[in-house]
Chains A and B, each alone.
Chain A
């Protein structure tokens, strides 16, 4: 029976880990969840790579660089059901405030102009290590890149919404959606 438990993987792309925090906010129900599922690649257990095919993938955050896109595609390949969690994954969220501002302008502001760096970077160095992932021209939300099966809005999504969604998918029951759980902030 043990290996028949559904397997969950999670990732935070261009997000703040708030949605993962909200997942932990289900409090003692996390013990029920552990009964129901196993975790694979996730920051929660610090597994860096997929070890097997997963049933549910939870994506927090949109895509701001090439590494995010790579990771998202990996998740799509390795997960049967993919869920966009939180405003950043659904519509870009706060990182998407830079959409419309040229990338050069963003980088110069971050490394040359903003009050905390002005005068502290006399050689005008911009990060250029080849190991660094390339920034994208704008933020792409997840369903622009791959097919997403479900969306859970919120900033972060309420713990009850996350828990109920997972339980509904795992047990195959219809989800209750009380008014208080669907919020965009």
Chain B
């Protein structure tokens, strides 16, 4: 067994790489210009493994790249046709699970879920749409929480805290009723800066900063011309 910090040898898609043991597979791949699609993962924040988009195979077994540390002798495959279809099916499931009306969404063009659908060339979901009845909570002075679009990635819960380390957001309810709520009391004191950060950290349009929508014209938004992951892939060519 390799200890954390020692250098190990692993193979990603048939190419050999050296990496520090204990680093997550996703980070090692990124540093070497291999893009593994992620959705719930944020660089610099402790990984969650919630969305399973980053599923890869290690020695033939499926694992999440964001939570699995590299180890000596790992044979990692990131892009087999089976994995591609699995990832696409997860995105398709998310599309039918909530109410993702892209044409009417403030986040359209900057949305990571949508960007993954573009990258995977999703023309239609293979699953039946559920059209759940969900609410929109606009009580917070700075943020609108749209439950129709939330994919429960916990990015806001993990990344957005106040000075004392308290989270503005939290899970409530259980099972299929689980949702991310804004702390009503703490949320009253949310600054413009933190509200903007919350909107940016949300991969979909579930957190929208008030009076901010549709500022960037179509054609100039983040994923209008550049596929998600292109920055990683162009890094090491």
How far, in Å, is A175 (CB) from chain B's closest CB? 11
Given known A-B contacts A155-B102, A183-B118, A184-B102, A141 and B123 have beta carbons under 8 A apart: no
Inter-chain CA distance A91–B105, complex, in Å, is 15
A153 touches B104 (CB 8 A): no
* Distance, CA A143 to CA B123, complexed state (A): 13
* Pair A180/B225 contact, Cβ less than 8 Å: yes
Interface residue ranges of B91-134 to A (CB < 8 Å):
95, 99, 101-105, 108-109, 114, 117-118, 121-125, 128-129, 131-133
- Looking at B103, B105, B132, B227, the one whose CB has the most chain A CB atoms below 10 A away is B103
**A99: Cβ under 8 A from any B Cβ:** yes
Instruction: Take A100-B133, A182-B118, A182-B121 as given contacts and tell me if A94 and B227 are in contact as well, using a CB distance cutoff of 8 Å.
Output: no
Q: By the criterion CB–CB under 8 Å, are B102 and A179 in contact? A: no
**Size bin of chain B's contact surface:** 20 to 34
A100–B131 Cα gap in the complex (Å)? 7
Complex: how many Å from CA A99 to CA B96? 13
The residue of chain A having its C-beta at the shortest distance from the C-beta of B119 within the complex is: A179
Report the nearest B residue to A143, measured CB to CB: B124
Query: Quick check: is A40 within 8 A (CB to CB) of the other chain?
Result: no
Residues of A within 8 A of B224 (CB): 180, 183
A182 contacts B123, CB within 8 Å? yes
- Is B1 an interface position by the 8 A CB rule? no
- Give, as a whole number of angstroms, the nearest-CB distance from B138 to chain A: 17
Q: Which residue of A lies closest to B96 (CB)?
A: A91
A2 CA / B131 CA spacing, docked (Å): 47
Nearest A-chain residue to B108, judged by Cβ: A185
Q: Which among A100, A144, A155 is the interface contact of B103 at CB below 8 angstroms?
A: A155
Give residues of chain A (144-166) contacting chain B, Cβ–Cβ below 8 Å: 144, 150-153, 155
Nearest opposing residue in chain A for B129, CB measure: A91
Say yes or no for B45: interface residue by CB 8 A criterion.
Answer: no
The listed residue (A93, A144, A180, A184) touching B108 by CB distance below 8 A is A184
A interface size (C-beta, 8 A): 27
CB proximity of B94 to chain A, nearest CB, Å: 13
The reply on B213 being an interface residue by CB < 8 A is no
Which of A84, A99, A100, A184 lies at the interface centre, i.e. has the most chain B CB atoms within 10 A of its CB? A184
The reply to whether B124 and A84 contact each other, CB–CB distance below 8 Å, is yes
Given contacts A87-B102, A87-B103, A179-B227, contact A184 B129 (CB under 8 A): no
With the chains together, A183 CA to B119 CA distance in Å? Answer: 10
Q: Mark A96-135 against chain B: 1 for CB-CB distance below 8 A, else 0.
A: 1101100000000000000000000000000000000000
Contacts of B104 in A (CB 8 A): 94, 97
Given known pairs A155-B102, A177-B121, the reply for A92 and B108 (CB within 8 Å) is no
For the complex, is A90 an interface residue (Cβ under 8 Å from B)? yes
Q: Would B131 and A179 count as touching, CB distance under 8 A?
A: no
Can you name 9 A-B pairs with beta carbons within 8 Å?
Answer: A96-B101, A99-B131, A143-B124, A152-B123, A153-B124, A155-B102, A184-B117, A185-B102, A185-B218
Closest 7 CB pairs of A and B: A184-B102, A155-B103, A100-B133, A151-B124, A151-B123, A99-B131, A185-B108
